[in-house]
Amino acid sequence: MDITKTEAEQRGWARLTGLAYLVIIAGAMFAQIVARGGLIVGGDPQGTIDAIRASEGLWRLGFVAEIMAFCADVFVAFGFYVILKPISRNLALLAAFFRLVMAAVQALNMQNHFDVLFLIDDANWLTAFDSAQLAAMAMLSLKAHTAGYMIGLIFFGFGNAFLGLALLRSRYVPALISFLVMAGALAVAGGLIAIFLDPAISEMISPWYMLPTFFGEVSLALWLVIMGVKIPSASKAG
């Protein structure tokens, strides 16, 4: 069956978007689990700053990996807009806008990650602070980074809710993947808002509230790369 120029463009962007999505997942997981997760010592500011000083290269690599992930987020936002615009321009725009805001918030928030490197430097002006003060300031930067990361994920959650709805309407991917994307999005946004309102809730729902969106994102990215999108012959813009 002949396909239109628009359909060919959608199919091409689908696989490129899937590849960019895998870059996001890999970069974010490396930064969050390997770099920060491997070097931050819970409840021990001095141990944390010593670990980062001993593995400065890993800390810097985590920074670059996550910045690249946020660059890929911009690509993904545009890719999904191209794919989903024929289904619903409004949903495609909302999904793209929320993802772009998320990427901007989290990219700027990476300054808090990088600030720690200034505190482990041998610059003369740092002699005005003792080691305990430097460690405390490093932990403050890391706490601020965590808060900024969570704020960005709230925008991500709302954006993925619109994305999942548009995917469900499009029938481009299996309905199960669309529902996983939406369920994960609502779990992330709702969970993080609840944590901001009452931090004690974090102990009850972490990290479980992140699992649906993880499975939804991985499933969607792999489906786009391997299978592409199946465009129904009767699909129309909404």
Cβ-Cβ contacts under 8 Å for 162 (sequence gap 6 or more): 91, 94, 95, 98
| Cα distances (angstroms) measured from residue 151 to each of 22, 113, 147 | 22, 15, 6
Residue with tokens 């720690």: 116
The per-residue pLDDT for range 158-178, each reduced to its tens digit, is 999 999 999 999 999 999 999
Cβ-Cβ contacts under 8 Å for 112 (sequence gap 6 or more): 141, 142, 144, 145, 148
The per-residue pLDDT for range 182-223, each reduced to its tens digit, is 999 999 999 999 999 999 998 888 888 899 999 999 999 999
pLDDT at 61 over 90: yes
Q: Could you tell me which of 101, 129, 155 has the C-alpha nearest to residue 45?
A: 129
- pLDDT band (50, 70, 90) for residue 154: very high
Q: pTM of the entire structure? A: 0.89
Contact 141, 115 (CB under 8 A): yes
pLDDT at 234 over 60: no
pLDDT at 233 over 70: no
